[in-house]
Amino acid sequence: MTQPPKQSLLSRRAVLRGGAAAVAGVALAAGVGQPAFATPPGHRRRLRVLIATNEPWGTYHVQPLLAETRRRRWSVTQLVPDLSRITPGEPVPVATPDTAPAADLLVVTGAGDWPLECAERFARLPSAASSLAYLGPQEAPGARQLRHRLRTITSSSPAEARAFAGYLGTRRRIRVVGSPQTDTLPEHRPEPGLVLVLTSVTHPDDTGGSAPGTELLLAATAQLAASGRRILVGLHPRENPAFWDRYEISKVPSIQAAARAEAAIGIPGTVFPLVAAVGVPLVGCTDPALTVPEYLLSVCSSTIDDPAEAVRAVTGARLPSPDVLADAVGPIGGSAARLLDVWAATAADCHAPSAAA
């Protein structure tokens, strides 16, 4: 497929790599806050953080933070209901509420049942909310009981901040810090004819829900393969690989796999803006039952609801404009450090003694 001119790719990367200063203008214009500033040196102590996610065993949301937490020698522990879904060798430290270490801060990534339970259990800890995966803009049923606990709210981009504000039912400032997953953004070196297929989760389980659209995506993928495209599948961590075993399944995360692809097609999710940041144009598969935030659709070149449209859509796929991309992606480079700086400042500002349940 025809690639955009090299100069336009360089311009887009320059916009994205402009970092916090460039995105701050977008964020302020939208009225959703601004990127965090560095924590004052006096606050740089070894923090102890507990994290509770909407997907109780979803450690893949915390894993991109590990390099920076280790560099700072912080203790970061994800709270899980039990160890039944934790595999041997899991890199993210986990604990149940009964075995959790003493901590300075509780971070929740949403207002689902598990974060709410942990917020109640660790009621003495100051709390922050950080969006590490996309959430719809509709106010969550449990947001009201969580809002008063939150000392700080962060999100990866101005667009995600607007959705997160709706989800939490708040008009408070949300700090835009970028996505830790883009701290090691790969160089785009596309292989001719290679299409990256981005899956969601076909069946819900105790860890989290699913998104409709797998049948549409499977049929669209078959159409692309029949047209001569090579297929590389970027699996959602909870997707059943058996649905996709006829194709090459990436052994690296989807953002890294995107470096090989000319285009990507999939069910819109958190990874979409990040794949676009690599320089890969996207086509979204939109099942009628699927509801996603508008900003995830904004990074798509087009969307399809019929597999017969897949080849044409992928062939003509183009990247979004630089301003749309910056709004959806947020600042690139140093995002994990910015996020942890906010957490450190939040814990320091509370002047609260260490606490545990």
Q: What is the pLDDT of residues 36-46, one digit of tens each?
A: 444 444 445 79
Whether residue 32 has pLDDT greater than 50: no
Rounded-to-integer distance, Cα 166 and Cα 134, Å? 12
Question: What is the rounded average pLDDT for all residues in the chain?
Answer: 85
Most confident of 41-50, 195-204, 277-286: 277-286
Q: What is the mean pLDDT of residues 244-263?
A: 94
How much of the chain, in percent, has pLDDT values that exceed 70? 81
Q: What is the mean pLDDT of residues 100-105?
A: 97
Residue of 106, 109, 7, 130 whose CA lies nearest to 57: 109
The token pair that represents 234 in the structure block: 């970027």
Whether residue 300 has pLDDT greater than 50: yes
Whether residue 31 has pLDDT greater than 50: no
Q: What is the mean pLDDT of residues 250-279?
A: 95
Which H or E run contains 341? Answer: helix 335-350
Residue position matching structure tokens 């986990």: 94
Q: What is the mean pLDDT of residues 326-346?
A: 97
The token pair that represents 108 in the structure block: 């929740």
- At 34-80, the pLDDT tens digits run 444 444 444 457 999 999 999 999 898 999 999 999 999 999 999 99
Q: Which amino acid is at 151?
A: R
Residue 265 contacts residue 282 (beta carbons within 8 Å): yes
Rounded-to-integer distance, Cα 130 and Cα 334, Å? 16
Rounded-to-integer distance, Cα 259 and Cα 275, Å? 9
Whether residue 183 has pLDDT greater than 60: yes
Angle between helices 19-30 and 158-168 (to 10 degrees): 50
Whether residue 231 has pLDDT greater than 90: yes
- The residues pairing with 304 across neighbouring beta strands, listed in sequence order, are 285
Lowest mean pLDDT among 38-42, 60-64, 269-273, 327-331: 38-42
